[in-house]
Structure 1
Amino acid sequence: MGDIGDGDGTTGRAPDIGTGLGLGLGTGLGAELVAAVRAGDAEAVERLLDAGADPDTLAEDGLPVLCLAIDAYAEQVADALMHAGADPDRVLPDGTTPLLRAIEGGSYGIYLGLLGKDPGLRLRGPAADRALALARNRYERCLVAPGERTRVQDGDWWGHLDELTLDGRTVRTGHGAILTDLEWTQRLLTPVEELADRAVAHPDPDHVDWGSALHVLTKRRSVRTWSAVASLRHHPDPDRRRFAADVLRCLTLLEGEDTTPSFERETSELLAAWAVEESDPRVLADVLSAWGTEHEHPDMVATGLRHADHPSPLVRAAVPDCLDASPLAPAARAALLTLARDEDATVRRHACAVLGRRHDGSPAVRACLVGLARDPDAEVRWCAAERLSESDDHAPEIADALAGLLGEEKQLVRVIAAYGLMCRDDPRTADGYARIGPPGPGLEHDHRWSRLWDRHRRREQGYGNTSAAAEQ
């Protein structure tokens, strides 16, 4: 990636290491490792490392292969090298390190992989200052950089960011997330308002900058931090209000018996008042979602009913969780049945989830769930399959609806449907198993598939009783 500045426009350089350390290419394993890293072949890299290849092997340019993975944003390859012992703090010919190179590149996933465990112990003094300065410099420059931006997924887990050209190189815009995380590793308590600014610089909850700021604020449990987040509720910018609602949702989501201090009661009361006052549909949807999924409140059902016919489908999709109480109030059941016929598929899916969870044998709810199993939207049918399969209602029309889902394109839905038939000792279970096909990746760990496979094996081996009751 070339020279990496210290954040103040200067570039540190160390003496050239020359060829005295060797390139690691003289052995077959070294050359093969370089080739595998260049190809981005994580499996081949792991295989070569297991065979004894040096994770700090140097490529033809004198840089360790870890730098090749960093420059290519090959997260799995970089992880394999790190797990094998590659040194992220090795001083490179230009005076930088692989970690600084990762910070410059802006991939949050690559940076986290190189940060390793106990970064607060490893990054100290001038090293920490240099990393922070570089992250801030790149963050500020990328914010105002002209040119086209392309949205990309950053690794498998971290969310989205943009790629752009800066100084003639392709970089990723995860520097805000990196800066936020670095500050937290150094226990620098960045003001809540500044973290909110970083989160909404890319106003997308799936952007890594948003996610990193969210993660740090859920770790900072104090009255001061909670109050600062809560005060964003009155901010004129709706994106900052959305961010505040997201933080409050996650704070409650992570509550536990040993969580100190706990703000569950204060958060519930704040969200209750906010749900009545908020006018922006996107923010209101987030507030209702945060409140309805994680809290109990005496005003929740009434508030949900108030917004059940809201013009925005985002808001209507958040209403079912507010109506989710056992037993369902008559007004709540009527509203859910209406929402289950909504023109928006997401609204129907959320209503289906709550109706199925609270199904008490009502003919109207049963007919609604059976109808949703034939919905034109595949995600709604999936939700209906889940709820019908696990339902205690063994009415014939439910079994017929499950049998109708055995032809679904998504394999997991076919598994769910066959499992529901098996739990009802339905004779169509065997046909359902046959129509599932070989299990796809990860499916072999699903308990429903395991039960179906076990029943099929028992039938093949001639066991006398293979009913669902006998297998309990």
Structure 2
Amino acid sequence: MAKDADAVRACLNDGADPDTPGPDGLPLLCTAVGAFDHETADALTDGGADSCVVLPDGTTPLMRAVDLGSPALVGATLGRDPGLRITAAEKQRLLALARHWCETGEAEELRRRTGAPGPAARRPVQDDEYTDIEEVSLGGLTVRAGHRGVLTDLERAFGILSPVSELVARAVPDPGELHANWSSVSYALAFRKSPQAWSELAALRHHPDPVHRRLLAKVLWSRNFLANFHNRPDTAGDVEFLAAWALDEPDGEVLADVLDVYTDHDHPGQEAVAFRYAGHPDPRVRRQVPYCLMRTPMSEPAVTTLLALARDPDSRVRYVVAEVLAYPRELTPATRRNLLTLLRDPDADVRRRAAESLSGSHDRTAAVTEALAALLDEEDRILRLEAAYGLAVRDDPRTDEAYERVGPLGPGFEDDHRVSAHWHYRHRNRAGGT
């Protein structure tokens, strides 16, 4: 009832029955589902709750989750091995319900069920940690507008391969990178590697609507993520495809997405791409350029380009430069000088990123050490912590005082490497180290 998933897991670990009935006599999984509480639903199903138990009204907890239109909630309630565990008849019932919502539309279906006139109320909400969704309310009922994502997730769980064109049509109405429907479709398409499926996906590169091209870039990002997650870097064909696409994509937003995936790989053409787009009018593109230059060693033209971007009018470009300048960690006089300049940037995020790059670098010059020590006068506590860390790893005698000046950090910093560096500093020096 309190939506405390950790407490639920603790009860389950202590032997509580995952199908315990709630005050209404229904399994507590129904309580979690009705509250859009995907974390508790996940805890219960992971603990053995039966998401397919038939309830007095003929529904099941899983069917209720599908009805509510939250991909996160459905994913949590599906449980393990749904393709094997759920009967064929139940699969068809779930799929039919999701399709009905997709074809009717959330507002219209709520109007049909409640008889309420007028427009539905809509508000953006977070579906899970990584995705957003729209909540739709009318006549006292509330659902989430994620039924296209729910249908896509169910099909993937049940091994159903809908046409690529149908999946694309489900995604394009919600082109937000974090939208739950967009995310479900791009993830499902990332698994489609047959020649026919890839041919249809690759054709999106030349689609006149940039939303379709953005979807393709997201699919390629998801494919790369899955390959890295499963330690199967089998995306060589994708890299060459991205390399060619990066040279002729006309839309700035799409190009930024393409470069975001492309720079996650190592490819000899990236430096030329960086030179091509260092002056691009869209700052989203320029923010990707520094990542094209992360090579060891950096060529002289690459360093020149990077240093020019350190003065970019867009603060996020300067932020990325502050990150890349410290790669590798051996700083040259030019990169040191520019990082010290970025340490005085008017944007707080840029200063923090520059401080992080300097403190973690192998540079032990007095200029860097003193610049870090000067940060202890900053109001920003994270800047002071970064300064203390930089002094600690350099065995500077001001380290103890520096950590005192950081002040209390509160919860969330227990395992922070910058905090533990203080302990290592004291251990080294007690042991007679430098």
What is the TM-score when the length of structure 2 is the normalising length? 0.89
In structure 2, relative to structure 1, the CA distance for the partners of 1:59 and 1:307 (3 Å cut) is same
**Which residue is 1:99 aligned to?**
62
Higher mean C-alpha deviation, range 306-315 or range 141-150? 141-150
- Looking at structure 2, the residues matched to 342 and 304 of structure 1 have their Cα atoms a distance apart, in angstroms, of 14
**Matched position secondary structure for 1:430:** helix
- Looking at structure 1, the residues matched to 46 and 224 of structure 2 have their Cα atoms a distance apart, in angstroms, of 34
Contact 2:329 2:360 in 1 (8 A): no
- 1:321-360 to 2 correspondences below 5 Å: 321-358=291-328, 360=330
Shift of 1:291: 1.3
Aligned match of 2:190 in 208, 212, 218?
A: 218
Aligned residues: 424
Q: Which 5+ residue runs of structure 1 have no aligned equivalent?
A: 1-36, 468-472
- 1:143-154 to 2 correspondences below 5 Å: 145=108, 147-154=120-127
Which residue identity does 1:206 align to in structure 2? L
- Looking at structure 2, the residues matched to 464 and 456 of structure 1 have their Cα atoms a distance apart, in angstroms, of 8
- 1:18-29 to 2 correspondences below 5 Å: none
**Which residue is 1:124 aligned to?**
87
Shift of 1:46: 4.9
Which residue identity does 1:369 align to in structure 2? L
**Which residue is 1:465 aligned to?**
432
Shift of 1:94: 1.0
**Which residue is 1:303 aligned to?**
273
Aligned match of 1:320 in 286, 290, 300?
A: 290
Shift of 1:263: 3.6
**Which residue is 2:255 aligned to?**
284
Shift of 1:361: 3.5
- 1:320-469 to 2 correspondences below 5 Å: 320-358=290-328, 360-406=330-376, 413-456=383-426, 463-465=430-432, 467=434
Is 1:191 the counterpart of 2:163 in the alignment?
Answer: yes
- Looking at structure 1, the residues matched to 230 and 431 of structure 2 have their Cα atoms a distance apart, in angstroms, of 50
- Looking at structure 1, the residues matched to 199 and 410 of structure 2 have their Cα atoms a distance apart, in angstroms, of 47
- Looking at structure 2, the residues matched to 288 and 50 of structure 1 have their Cα atoms a distance apart, in angstroms, of 45
> For each residue in 1:114-141, what CA deviation from the matched residue of structure 2 results, as whole angstroms up to 9, or x when unmatched?
1111111112311000111111222333
Shift of 1:366: 0.9
Shift of 1:414: 3.9
Aligned match of 1:228 in 196, 200, 205?
A: 200
In structure 2, relative to structure 1, the CA distance for the partners of 1:431 and 1:258 (3 Å cut) is closer
**Matched position secondary structure for 2:344:** coil
Contact 1:253 1:294 in 2 (8 A): no
- Looking at structure 2, the residues matched to 465 and 100 of structure 1 have their Cα atoms a distance apart, in angstroms, of 66
Shift of 1:262: 2.9
Q: Which 5+ residue runs of structure 2 have no aligned equivalent?
A: 109-118
- 1:64-83 to 2 correspondences below 5 Å: 64-83=27-46
**Matched position secondary structure for 1:152:** strand
Shift of 1:284: 1.1
Shift of 1:338: 1.6
- Looking at structure 2, the residues matched to 41 and 253 of structure 1 have their Cα atoms a distance apart, in angstroms, of 30
In structure 2, relative to structure 1, the CA distance for the partners of 1:190 and 1:61 (3 Å cut) is same
- Looking at structure 1, the residues matched to 97 and 305 of structure 2 have their Cα atoms a distance apart, in angstroms, of 54
Higher mean C-alpha deviation, range 207-216 or range 402-411? 402-411
Shift of 1:309: 0.9
Contact 1:139 1:173 in 2 (8 A): no
Shift of 1:44: 5.1
Which residue identity does 1:311 align to in structure 2? P
The runs of at least 4 aligned residues of structure 1 exceeding 6 Å deviation read 257-261
Shift of 1:326: 2.1
In structure 2, relative to structure 1, the CA distance for the partners of 1:126 and 1:294 (3 Å cut) is same
Which residue identity does 1:152 align to in structure 2? V
Contact 2:46 2:79 in 1 (8 A): no
In structure 2, relative to structure 1, the CA distance for the partners of 1:198 and 1:413 (3 Å cut) is farther
In structure 2, relative to structure 1, the CA distance for the partners of 1:408 and 1:129 (3 Å cut) is farther
Shift of 1:466: 5.1
Higher mean C-alpha deviation, range 229-238 or range 140-149? 140-149
In structure 2, relative to structure 1, the CA distance for the partners of 1:433 and 1:113 (3 Å cut) is same
- Looking at structure 2, the residues matched to 233 and 240 of structure 1 have their Cα atoms a distance apart, in angstroms, of 8
- Looking at structure 1, the residues matched to 209 and 339 of structure 2 have their Cα atoms a distance apart, in angstroms, of 40
Contact 2:373 2:387 in 1 (8 A): yes
Shift of 1:413: 4.6
Which residue identity does 2:125 align to in structure 1? V
Which residue identity does 2:305 align to in structure 1? A
> For each residue in 1:53-101, what CA deviation from the matched residue of structure 2 results, as whole angstroms up to 9, or x when unmatched?
5433333433222212211112333333334432211111110000110
Which residue identity does 1:169 align to in structure 2? L
Contact 1:412 1:443 in 2 (8 A): no
Contact 1:249 1:294 in 2 (8 A): no
**Which residue is 2:111 aligned to?**
none
> For each residue in 1:23-70, what CA deviation from the matched residue of structure 2 results, as whole angstroms up to 9, or x when unmatched?
xxxxxxxxxxxxxx1x43445545655666543333343322221221
**Matched position secondary structure for 2:368:** helix
Contact 1:293 1:322 in 2 (8 A): no
In structure 2, relative to structure 1, the CA distance for the partners of 1:332 and 1:97 (3 Å cut) is same
Contact 2:39 2:76 in 1 (8 A): no
Identity fraction in percent: 46
In structure 2, relative to structure 1, the CA distance for the partners of 1:289 and 1:261 (3 Å cut) is closer
In structure 2, relative to structure 1, the CA distance for the partners of 1:103 and 1:330 (3 Å cut) is same
In structure 2, relative to structure 1, the CA distance for the partners of 1:245 and 1:180 (3 Å cut) is same
- 1:110-121 to 2 correspondences below 5 Å: 110-121=73-84
In structure 2, relative to structure 1, the CA distance for the partners of 1:258 and 1:62 (3 Å cut) is closer
Contact 1:56 1:66 in 2 (8 A): yes
